[in-house]
Structure 1
Amino acid sequence: MHESRSMSATLACALLCALSLSACKPKAPAETAAPPVEPATTTPAADAGPVAQRAPFDVKAFAGTFTGTLPCADCPGIDTRIVLATDGTYTITESYQERTAPELHGDGTWTVEENDQRLRLDPNSKDERDRLFAILSQDEIRQLDLEGKAIESSLPYNLKRATP
């Protein structure tokens, strides 16, 4: 009888461990391209209308120049210009206000991820970290923190599309 209880306890413990480990499954890699669009369908309910169809993200239409002044810890701001090319490359120019230092230049590739809600700048220089921006609209992006989360601040982290 004691052996049966011990075996039951061991079995229950093993089951709990297996369930815990299955919950720790790694996440799928972030998407780098817009997902395919499914054709519009209707719901099975007779009175329901068609399911909304989402248009694919148009990389070429989103490409362009975004400018603005980002916050700076020890100066009035950082004048920032990001040029997103239609071939998936970008250039960035940053100039610290009220400093005599030369402009900083960078380049790399850009992708849209997180269901077309986030822009990732992947620099060619591997000494630099990726930079993330929330896509607020076709004409505005907002810098995110290093983990891709919104920066809770009243400071201006937005860049707007420059008019041609």
Structure 2
Amino acid sequence: MKKIVLGLAIAAMTFVGCKNGEKTETSSEETTETVDQAIVDSHNSENSLDWAGVYEGTTPCADCSGIETILELKNDKTFKLSQTYLGKTEDDNLFTQEGNFIWNQDGTEIRLKIVSGSFQFKVGENQVWMLDEKGNVIEGDLANMYILKKTIQ
């Protein structure tokens, strides 16, 4: 009888010991996944994309047929923004601003430093999205008109 009890005790200890080993392996896999995610999370628009270049598009306008917008982003973090109000007289239809821009902490959006007002853009692969005054991507029927496409690198 003692042999049977001793045999069951050894079998139970072996079974419990194997269970603990499995948990260790799972924990190890979870750690590897966490490290992989941390590596992936370090990539952003600022350090992973070829963002410097010229972006163009026609954005909506309340009192004209559209605003032809050309944004040039340079590697030294300077910009040139030209906006032509289509359907207006030549004297008051072209506005050009130049200056510096800064990246947000996540490296996904830029803010143009201009004298009056502000422009913010989300930077993606070969395009930028003009953001609203709160820094959100513009949604709705005209959302696609707020995307400037890269034309020159």
TM-score by length of 1: 0.63
Q: For residues 3-82 of structure 1, what are the structure 2 equivalents within 5 Å?
A: 45-48=27-30, 49-50=32-33, 51-52=35-36, 53=39, 54-55=42-43, 57-58=46-47, 61-82=50-71
Q: Distance in 1 between matches of 2:118 and 2:61?
A: 18
More helix by share: 2
2:98 match: 107
2:135 match: 148
- Between the aligned residues of both structures, percent identity stands at 26
| The one of 68, 78, 85 aligned to 1:89 | 78
* Cα offset, 1:98, TM superposition: 1.3
- When residues 59 and 81 of structure 1 are mapped into structure 2, their CA distance, relative to the original with a 3 A threshold, is farther
Name the SS for the 2:29 alignment partner. Answer: coil
Name the SS for the 1:58 alignment partner. Answer: helix
Q: Is this contact kept in 2: 1:78–1:97, CA < 8 A?
A: yes
Q: Is this contact kept in 1: 2:53–2:152, CA < 8 A?
A: no
Q: Is this contact kept in 2: 1:91–1:106, CA < 8 A?
A: yes
Q: Is this contact kept in 1: 2:67–2:83, CA < 8 A?
A: yes
* 4+ runs deviating over 3 angstroms: none
How many positions carry a matched residue from both structures? 117
What's the C-alpha RMSD, in Å, of the aligned pairs? Answer: 2.2
Amino acid at match of 1:104: F
Amino acid at match of 1:46: S
Q: Is this contact kept in 2: 1:110–1:122, CA < 8 A?
A: yes
Deviations 1:106-139 (CA, angstroms, capped at 9, x unpaired): 011112214122111111x3xx11211122x221
Deviations 1:21-59 (CA, angstroms, capped at 9, x unpaired): xxxxxxxxxxxxxxxxxxxxxxx8223334231236338
TM-score by length of 2: 0.67
- When residues 96 and 55 of structure 1 are mapped into structure 2, their CA distance, relative to the original with a 3 A threshold, is same
Report which of the two structures shows the higher radius of gyration computed on alpha carbons.
2
